[in-house]
A and B are shown apart, each in its own frame.
Chain A
Amino acid sequence: MTCDLTLRDVRSVARIVNLAHRFNCRTTHIAVQADATVTARFAFAGPEVALSRLRAQIDRILAYEANPT
């Protein structure tokens, strides 16, 4: 599974990597460009259900970063 993300907070990169580990997924690729905004490309491998759960959690992180303003 590949995810191209725009993040507000570079620390979310670490959070996403930790979540992948927790869900028994492997983070096979990370590329991050941190300027005013953070663009990040991740690739993960793992069981389909775990990847699905990881994607949902990533979406929640993005929502919590973006919502209040």
Chain B
Amino acid sequence: MTGAQAVVAALERAGVETIFGYPGGAIMPLYDALYEHRVRHVLVRHEAAAAFAASGYARTSGRAGVCCATSGPGATNLVTGLLDAMMDSVPLVAITGQVRTELMGTDGFQEADVCAITQPVTKRNFLVSDASRIGETIAEAFALALHGRPGPVLVDIPNDVLKARLDDAAVREPMTRGGAGPRVSDAAVRDAVARIRCARRPVAIIGGGVRSGAVDLYRMFVAMLGLPHAATINALGAAAPGDETYLGMLGMHGLKGANKAVQRADLIVALGMRFDDRVTGKPDRFAREAAVIHADIDATEFGKIVTADVALHGDLRATLRALVDELARGHVPRFDDWAAEARQLGGPLPSDRVEHDELSATGVLDRLFDAIPDDAIVTTDVGQHQMWAAQRARPAHPRKYATSAGLGAMGFGFPAGIGAAYANPGTPVYAIVGDGGFQMCLPELATLRRYDVPVKIVLIDNQNLGMVRQWQELFFSERYSATNLADNPDFVAIARAYGIDAFAVTAPSHAGDVIARFVASRGPALLHCACHPTENVWPMIPAGMTVDDLMEARA
């Protein structure tokens, strides 16, 4: 067995079925080992797309996503995807080739100190210098990626180590893995429940931690209390379909009712969320009247932004189980009146300056969400369309929705959709993208075609880097610097050149018909929507402000 074959064997032991990658010199032995192997390799057209596809795979399946790249530029092209996974707690394992050991430190061809570069963007990384340790290192990488708060791990393997012949007897067995993790304290649970029983206006906020298998218990928890609740963008889909106590997405472009209810709350039950600045605005003015119960698997999050009155350190599923059990031992309060009041704090989403005969992005997305199947997976890119989609989407489960939330990495949405399609064969996947981000990953149309991946791309083309343009309009005196994309290419022609079916919508009068045909089409397809160029996202809480400063239209 060679080192490269040991890598593939370790991937098999970890249950890996699909990896996303791009070959190159240093990693050629691994590609040789993958040749005709049952671990399926998906050739992307840029390493950044490999990391994003692996992320889409992981986000929509709960399994670790795997990507690989060669040394130097191949590895550095993974960095954005690794940081994206770090920010959103996505389990990812990246395997990179490295130059031969004897060349390391000589500025060799395609040499980069990848472990140093990726140290801040991974939970850990490993440089494997002894082929006999490949198996145990990769096993540890998967354990670490999935254990506790999930995240990315990188394994860097020099070319000569990949080529080295291994005496099977010398191969070190994978270590026993997986500690139990932190167990939430009984006293903290009792304290939390006592505060819930005393509260008059409690609001739950659910975050990405709900993806840890906690959806059912979360729904049970809010239902047993009639508790009004809001979600961060990473937890869209946590609420049960039709749940009237659900107030919607929270934050800068969240729904008014969700933001106002949180601001009026006397108790915040924050579950698996990290008080991102896009959620809190100005932290010292966030939910000023509220005590805070904060549940998280990562103790680092307690007190990082918002001080917790009760910290519940542990796995969210176990924490919710403990809360439900403790509540059931005594009085179970109901908050129906407050929930009804909280619902009245909102209102319909504000519309913007689009005339009835012009195509609005929000109109397209409303029609799209009405048309797609309930079990569809949606991925989005980053920008205005991301916020419009998040305001409107009602995914059936958090694993049905994937977006680059914490990092806000443009170019994520389309390759993430490819990864989601591989993780969920037979499930319809819609990648909603803007004209800016789509052009960061256009070559992945070739990936779509080669493997006939049934991803449907919804391109909201407003001929602008719309979110930046919106901020320039509102906060930079309408000085539109480097945001105009009026010279965009013909996206329909590009898609067809790659052999992808393409549909075009230019006016609301025929949007419904075109969207229906697009949704009914088989295989990969592009829907190009030529939208109004200056439609803005409302509501908006300007950065560093609070819901008291919420804008629903231009001043």
* Residue ranges of A at the interface with B (Cβ–Cβ < 8 Å): 9, 11, 14-15, 18, 52-53, 56-57, 59-60, 63-65, 67-69
Picked from A11, A59, A65, A68, the residue with its CB within 8 Å of the CB of B300 is A59
Q: Which 4 A-B pairs have the closest CB atoms?
A: A68-B143, A56-B300, A68-B144, A60-B300
Q: Are A53 and B304 in contact (CB under 8 A)?
A: yes
* Residue ranges of B at the interface with A (Cβ–Cβ < 8 Å): 115-116, 119-120, 123-124, 140, 143-144, 147-148, 175-179, 181, 298-300, 303-304
Which residue in chain A gives the minimum CB-CB distance to B179? A67
Please indicate the chain A residues that have their CB under 8 angstroms from the CB of B124 in the complex. 9, 64-65
Q: Are B148 and A67 in contact (CB under 8 A)?
A: yes
Q: How far is the CB of B133 from chain A (nearest CB, A)?
A: 14
Task: Pick 11 A–B contacts, CB within 8 A, sort by A.
Answer: A9-B124, A11-B116, A52-B303, A59-B299, A59-B300, A60-B298, A64-B123, A64-B124, A65-B124, A68-B175, A69-B177
Please indicate the chain A residues that have their CB under 8 angstroms from the CB of B304 in the complex. 53, 56
Please indicate the chain B residues that have their CB under 8 angstroms from the CB of A14 in the complex. 116, 119
Q: Are B119 and A11 in contact (CB under 8 A)?
A: yes
Q: How far is the CB of B318 from chain A (nearest CB, A)?
A: 16
Please indicate the chain A residues that have their CB under 8 angstroms from the CB of B178 in the complex. 68
Q: Are A67 and B119 in contact (CB under 8 A)?
A: no
Please indicate the chain A residues that have their CB under 8 angstroms from the CB of B176 in the complex. 69
Which residue in chain B gives the minimum CB-CB distance to A22? B120
* Distance A60 CA – B181 CA, assembled complex (angstroms): 13
* Distance A53 CA – B305 CA, assembled complex (angstroms): 10
Q: How far is the CB of A57 from chain B (nearest CB, A)?
A: 7
Which residue in chain A gives the minimum CB-CB distance to B299? A59
A68 and B177 in contact, given A9-B124, A15-B119 (Cβ under 8 angstroms): yes
Which residue in chain B gives the minimum CB-CB distance to A66? B179
Q: Are A68 and B140 in contact (CB under 8 A)?
A: yes
Please indicate the chain B residues that have their CB under 8 angstroms from the CB of A53 in the complex. 304
Q: How far is the CB of A64 from chain B (nearest CB, A)?
A: 5
Please indicate the chain B residues that have their CB under 8 angstroms from the CB of A57 in the complex. 300
* Distance A11 CA – B181 CA, assembled complex (angstroms): 24
Picked from B115, B140, B143, the residue with its CB within 8 Å of the CB of A11 is B115
Q: How far is the CB of A11 from chain B (nearest CB, A)?
A: 7
A18 and B299 in contact, given A68-B143, A68-B144 (Cβ under 8 angstroms): no
Determine which residue in A60, A65, A67 has the highest number of CB atoms from chain B within 10 A of its CB, and name it. Answer: A67
* Distance A52 CA – B307 CA, assembled complex (angstroms): 13
* Distance A63 CA – B140 CA, assembled complex (angstroms): 14
* Distance A62 CA – B181 CA, assembled complex (angstroms): 14
* Distance A10 CA – B472 CA, assembled complex (angstroms): 46
* Distance A26 CA – B175 CA, assembled complex (angstroms): 38
